Structure 1
């Protein structure tokens, strides 16, 4: 059931966020969806950022006021081939017992210690057919329990079993649910509940696959696509938030696939979604230069999902390609843009 179909919102008269000091980059951000990862380290009063640029990924550590403290460049492992492989995504995976930085490219999957200092695992991608002209790549990264899941160009999702420490990482399973390339993966803790949908995967056709994690992952339902890619997806309290290439956000019930809300949120393709789990805030960023923040809640009476538009930010003359909240309450967020040599930061007023 569609509970609402709102028009693209106007900026609120009262601003909720203000621009803070930006974090400079040595290079710029590539025009890739979800091209920003953020890792908050409250105990050390630090924020880590990771951005992809061509064959390298830039890692930055910054103090809360935006002062950069350290930078590191990571490069895609060469593998076979005559040209340097391009990185497709970089993402921190927070596991129960460790944090790993995962880098995907056209040649393989690399996993590092959280600061990027030591590579602990390398998985090469094999097309299986040297005569094929199809592009080979991995894309879509998420942690689920003690597993890290990574999507591939074939539509399969690789599931890696991660030990509490050390490099003895094992490819434990390959999930088959998609016929086109995986675009993004989202997870949330199942908290020990049985039959709970705790992972969703999206692909270039807009198809969503909903999974239950465990010693073996189980496909619970498929939510059909409609011919429009779904570049970014999020999962919160059993609600799937999916952002599409036509600027729409659709909110589904994870267990049944029921459509609750459809929002005409942006004038152009959505390139990133993020969720602040403590407050149920959803951040959406698109090629129309807008970043919007929405508040999700489930009605206690009807169980339907309700949406409130909280904030709209125009990042003028910038093709936005990544956006993330910087804290679990959604009080700050960061934005990257194509050919932009800085990370823009915003915090609540």
Structure 2
């Protein structure tokens, strides 16, 4: 496929992991620390989180593994939400999910997390609830401040847009296993602005940028919606199999998608003068041979580099713009 105005990417040195990555949606987190010339990576394997910090050239890598524990006893991560310092050195908060009366034969888990309004952290659950935690500007007195109850199916992903948003604009979107999406405004309390109905496929990953919702589905499609109205603006048959991850570079509007078909695709979103005119352009394609991709993230806010994880793959593959 031809490259667009973002240029081509080339493969860089991979970052090794102590464990492989589980086949979970969006199974990669990336935190770039430019002042330290380091990038933190995290991926889940079973009840363990593998953390790796790597230099820009990938030659210097530090590893750490986090196991869910409380009071010296291992606790299943399916019933626990834990918050750590960015390097994994200190656990600052944990919250046990209410599993007193789970439905028969249904797993209980937390899935999907996003910061909202520079104050809240929202966490999705298998029951369709979204837990809203109030994070103080100082200290660790984190509290559960609100529970959003609009979804009827398990949450799959949560995305937010932090920054200068116009009054009444969407700054949080939640997705579930049925494919339904909810768009929210976060203030002192969260208000539902619109709900986008399911159409027969699970929405595995969702992102929010410049008033646009980008959603990836089990049929390999990426759909773009107007966040405030819920109007469908574009549909792209992006992958041959289930999409597992999306990411957006906030400074450029680049969109990254990774799927079961072993491909990572880079796209470019843009708005025209007409408020309803949203365009998506394909820019780059990479194949990670014989790998079921389960995580894909940009490594910088411009989208000049990205990383990906795959099921049963004990490394993080990295690419940077030529």
TM range (shorter): over 0.9
Partner residue in 1 for 2:204:
231
Find the residue that maps to 1:106 and give its secondary structure.
helix
Asked whether the equivalents of residues 233 and 276 of structure 2 are also in contact (C-alpha less than 8 Å), the reply is: no
- Quick one: distance in 1 between partners of 2:208 and 2:17? 30
* TM-superposed deviation, 1:160: 0.2
Partner residue in 2 for 1:341:
314
Partner residue in 2 for 1:28:
20
CA offsets 1:5-43 (integer angstroms, 9 cap, x no match): xxxxx4659970100011111111111110100000000
Aligned structure 1 segments of 4 or more residues deviating by more than 6 angstroms: none
Partner residue in 2 for 1:137:
109
> Which one of 53, 71, 83 corresponds to residue 61 of structure 1?
53
Asked whether the equivalents of residues 184 and 190 of structure 2 are also in contact (C-alpha less than 8 Å), the reply is: yes
Instruction: Trace 1:201-240 onto structure 2 (pairs within 5 A).
Output: 201-240=174-213
Partner residue in 2 for 1:298:
271
Asked whether the equivalents of residues 11 and 313 of structure 1 are also in contact (C-alpha less than 8 Å), the reply is: no
Partner residue in 2 for 1:70:
62
Partner residue in 1 for 2:146:
173
Asked whether the equivalents of residues 226 and 276 of structure 2 are also in contact (C-alpha less than 8 Å), the reply is: no
Asked whether the equivalents of residues 24 and 68 of structure 1 are also in contact (C-alpha less than 8 Å), the reply is: no
* TM-superposed deviation, 1:190: 5.0
User: Do the aligned partners of residues 150 and 130 (structure 1) sit closer, same or farther apart at CA in structure 2, a change above 3 Å counting?
Assistant: closer
Instruction: Trace 1:280-299 onto structure 2 (pairs within 5 A).
Output: 280-299=253-272
- Quick one: distance in 1 between partners of 2:228 and 2:274? 19
Find the residue that maps to 1:193 and give its secondary structure.
coil
- Quick one: distance in 1 between partners of 2:31 and 2:194? 31
TM-score normalised according to structure 2 size: 0.95
Partner residue in 2 for 1:324:
297
- Quick one: distance in 2 between partners of 1:199 and 1:31? 25
> Which one of 12, 28, 47 corresponds to residue 39 of structure 2?
47
Query: Structure 2: any 5+ residue segments left out of the alignment?
Result: none
- Quick one: distance in 1 between partners of 2:289 and 2:174? 31
Asked whether the equivalents of residues 122 and 133 of structure 2 are also in contact (C-alpha less than 8 Å), the reply is: yes
> Which one of 254, 260, 277 corresponds to residue 250 of structure 2?
277
- Quick one: distance in 2 between partners of 1:130 and 1:52? 24
Partner residue in 2 for 1:114:
86
CA offsets 1:137-164 (integer angstroms, 9 cap, x no match): 1100000121000000111100000012
- Quick one: distance in 2 between partners of 1:240 and 1:228? 16
* TM-superposed deviation, 1:125: 1.0
Q: Does 1:126 align with 2:98?
A: yes
- Quick one: distance in 1 between partners of 2:226 and 2:18? 42
TM-score normalised according to structure 1 size: 0.88
Find the residue that maps to 1:61 and give its secondary structure.
strand
* TM-superposed deviation, 1:191: 1.8
- Quick one: distance in 2 between partners of 1:143 and 1:302? 27
Partner residue in 2 for 1:254:
227
- Quick one: distance in 2 between partners of 1:345 and 1:190? 28
* TM-superposed deviation, 1:54: 0.9
* TM-superposed deviation, 1:192: 5.5
- Quick one: distance in 1 between partners of 2:275 and 2:144? 42
User: Do the aligned partners of residues 173 and 235 (structure 1) sit closer, same or farther apart at CA in structure 2, a change above 3 Å counting?
Assistant: same
